[in-house]
Amino acid sequence: MTAYGYKSDYHAGRKAPKGNKTQAQRIVSRRRPACPLYRSHDPIRDERGEEMKRILVTAAIVAIAPLMAKDNEPAKRLESAAVVFAEVMGAPDKGIPQEMLEHAHCIVIVPDLKTGAFIVGGKYGKGILSCRNKVGPGWSAPGTVRIEGGSVGFQIGGSSTDLIMLVMNARGADKLLSSKFTLGAEGSVAAGPVGRTATAQTDAQMHADILSWSRSQGLFAGIALEGATLRQDLDDNQNLYGKRLENRAIVMERRKIPPAAARLINELNKYSATEDKHGK
């Protein structure tokens, strides 16, 4: 008797006829487990197997696609920030006065903020910051920020708004590079002047740590962001640099500018490569 309870031709001392399976072999064949990836000679079964493969591949692509898109968001935001800055500076009569940019220590650009949700407790926009290099001309590699909260009714009803903030002194720059910074409470903020020159600055504008502007539906104007909070975005920094770097480390340690930021830094250097420290 075999392990299956039957005496085979082999065990009986007889040679199985050529081309015929022994009784034990027939039993093993019947007990072979079905495998979805086993390719049979049945065309219908083969077609079902191929269809299953296509379904699994499609499901994997659908699952991975949002993660890939999220990883690419900081790079897209850098490109958008470069476009916003170039367009604003390209319209000097309705943009940021050149001398304001020349006196700035740092800049924050938040492109395409969805303003309908920007109310008390509302979330939120994401943006980019860069500061002057401590040694030599030019601007630093960018860090990333989130902006949350803000004044009641801020630009409600607008489709989207671009924000630009200039940090005008060392105190404001130090606060900006902290992990969290509330405008108005930890640093004074004022609506920035608009036009070719800043000769008509108010006293608040002259002494503010930060000046801010918004552009919505083609209208560019100064705006005070009292109560808005800026936070560094470590996740976006990791996407850009491969590490969860703090913004202060990116700026102060002169990190290499990532390729996605090249256009923005070139635009900043084009309009103001060196800081004008006179006349402040």
Per-residue pLDDT tens listing for the chain (280 residues): 544 454 444 444 555 555 555 555 555 455 555 444 445 556 666 677 677 766 765 554 444 434 344 458 999 999 999 999 999 998 877 889 998 999 999 999 999 776 554 444 444 689 999 999 988 899 999 999 998 876 544 444 445 788 999 999 999 999 999 999 888 888 888 888 888 776 656 666 778 999 999 888 777 787 777 778 899 999 999 999 999 999 999 999 989 999 999 999 999 999 998 887 755 5
Would residue 213 count as lying in a domain? yes
Would residue 164 count as lying in a domain? yes
* pLDDT of 280: 52
Would residue 245 count as lying in a domain? yes
**Do residues 108 and 119 touch, judged by C-beta distance below 8 A?**
no
Would residue 53 count as lying in a domain? no
* pLDDT of 209: 92
Listed in sequence order, the residues at least 6 apart from 224 whose beta carbon sits closer than 8 Å to its beta carbon are 151, 184, 189, 190, 191, 212
Q: Where are the beta strands (DSSP E) in the chain?
A: 106-113, 125-131, 143-149, 161-167, 180-182, 189-191, 210-216, 219-222, 228-232
Ramachandran quadrant class, 254 (left: phi over 0; alpha: psi -120 to 50; beta: rest): left
Angle at 212 between CA 206 and CA 216, to 5 degrees: 140
DSSP state of 280: -
Would residue 5 count as lying in a domain? no
Query: Does this model's pTM top 0.85?
Result: no
* pLDDT of 207: 83
Would residue 68 count as lying in a domain? no
Counting every residue, how long is the chain?
Answer: 280
Number of domains in the chain: 1
* pLDDT of 151: 54
Instruction: Classify strands 189-191 and 210-216 as parallel, antiparallel or unpaired.
Output: parallel
Q: Distances in Å between the alpha carbon of 112 and those of 89, 119, 278?
A: 17, 16, 34
DSSP state of 16: P
Domain containing residue 235: 85-272
Task: Look at the block and give the residue holding tokens 């039957």.
Answer: 6
- Written as six digits, the tokens of 85 are 């800055």
* pLDDT of 59: 52
* pLDDT of 46: 65
* pLDDT of 165: 94
